[in-house]
Amino acid sequence: MISVLVVDAQPLQRFGFRVLLESSPDTEIVGEAETGAEAVRRTTELRPDVVLMDIRMPGVDGIEATRRIAAAGGRSRILVLTTFDVDRYAFAVLRAGASGFLLEDTRPEELLAGIRAVAAGDAVIAPALTRRLLDRLDDDLCGPVREDPRLASLTCREREILVAIGHGLTNGEIARRFTLSESTVKTHVGRVFTKIGARDRIQAVILAYDLRLTRPV
């Protein structure tokens, strides 16, 4: 059973999420919060598998709440719902430590699948959506590559894999690009995550852009 803390400023939204999650045999709501500060406190108390996080809340918003929860180093993973086309804070919340985000008009079954994926340790963001998001980054990313101790620990192949991840490629696409088996790519990806200290694919993408290994195309 996947335990979920629902964080949303709107009571009607929280009610809708409760109805959906209670209708699924493998998810349960263990609590609700309507502000970011309350979300941080309740996450510490309840230690849910997944925090379903709103961004726009009074006082402590979803970005700061995500940052505080991630910094605490607990087991809870954060899935943010956002309106991608208008929400310029999407990248900030991923940088803050969210494991992914979905659009607010996501279908119920897609939301449940996203919660399951995040609970299992995966990042929830489609490659095409990754490219669209990163296209919004500032031109500052187009400068020279920044040196970082984490890059020195990577082999040449692992660095190539990190660059490919930064471009939003899936394991299958990486396998085809470098003529490798998907199992080999999966092994490389796991080693890259370990060496750079990334929890998931999204954090690896952010690092690749921070170090200017990749840039919007």
Average pLDDT over residues 100-118: 88
Average pLDDT over residues 121-142: 59
Q: Does the pLDDT at position 83 exceed 70?
A: no
Residue partners of 138: CB distance under 8 A and separation at least 6? none
Adjacency order of strands within the sheet including 2-7: 27-33, 2-7, 50-53, 77-82, 100-103
Lowest mean pLDDT among 110-114, 133-137, 199-203: 133-137
- 150 HSE (CA, 13 A, CB side): 16
Distance CA 149, CA 88 (A): 30
How is residue 124 written in tokens?
A: 């929830």
Which residue, chain included where needed, has tokens 């990749």?
214
Helix (H) or strand (E) holding 2: strand 2-7
- pLDDT for 21: 95
Write out pLDDT tens, residues 9-50.
Answer: 999 999 999 999 999 999 999 999 999 999 999 999 999 999
Distance CA 146, CA 125 (A): 26
Q: What is the mean pLDDT of the chain?
A: 84
CB 160 within 8 A of CB 185: no
User: pTM for the full model?
Assistant: 0.74
Higher pLDDT, 6 or 122: 6
CB 168 within 8 A of CB 135: no
CB 23 within 8 A of CB 46: no
